[in-house]
Amino acid sequence: MYAEPGIIQKIIEGTGDTWAVVGLSANEQRAAYGVAEVLQRHGKRIVPVHPRAETVHGEQGYASLADIPFDVDVVDVFVRSELAGAVADEAVEIGAKAVWFQLGVIDEEAYDRTRGAGLLMVMDRCPAIELGRPRGRGV
């Protein structure tokens, strides 16, 4: 597993409520769209990050993490594994507290770099699934 015990709950409950969702567009067929909606229902402010900088779920989009003019707590990553490491590095650069790689997104070197930089990190998991679990049952 790519999450130490307690890290998932710590990210969801203790890192803050502003989540940049990298790869989020207005395409309702994409997983990022539905996960962002679940995050909003659970009180998270989502920030769409996509080259088209679209407004999604009523939130202004940005072309990159560096373009976001306010602090981001968690960077939720919906890009291919080979692109995810660069996103994790950007999350470190902007001062995020945590990085979350979605199901199927795996980059062990990025995981080690991100954790080494002091950020919390989860990989190959989905916060929408974790938010649906009874408290205390998640890792």
Does the structure show a pLDDT above 60 at 56?
Answer: yes
Residue pLDDT, tens place only, 110-138 = 999 999 999 999 999 999 999 877 554 44
**Distance (Å) of CA 88 to CA 17, 37, 42:** 18, 22, 24
Q: State the DSSP string of 1-17.
A: -BS-TTHHHHHHHHS-S
Residue pLDDT, tens place only, 4-48 = 778 999 999 999 999 999 999 999 999 999 999 999 999 999 999
- Give pLDDT, residue 37: 96
Distance, CA of 89 to CA of 100 (rounded, Å): 12
Higher pLDDT, 99 or 139: 99
**What does the CA dihedral 11, 16, 20, 25 come to, rounded to 10 degrees?**
90
- Give pLDDT, residue 139: 43
What is the reported pTM?
Answer: 0.92
**Token pair of 76 as six digits:** 């939720």
Residue pLDDT, tens place only, 63-115 = 999 999 999 999 999 999 999 999 999 999 999 999 999 999 999 999 999 99
How many other C-beta atoms are found inside a 10 Å radius of the C-beta of residue 124?
Answer: 17
- Give pLDDT, residue 134: 59
What end-to-end distance do the CA atoms of the chain give, in Å? 9
C-alpha 124: how far from chain center: 11
- Give pLDDT, residue 1: 59
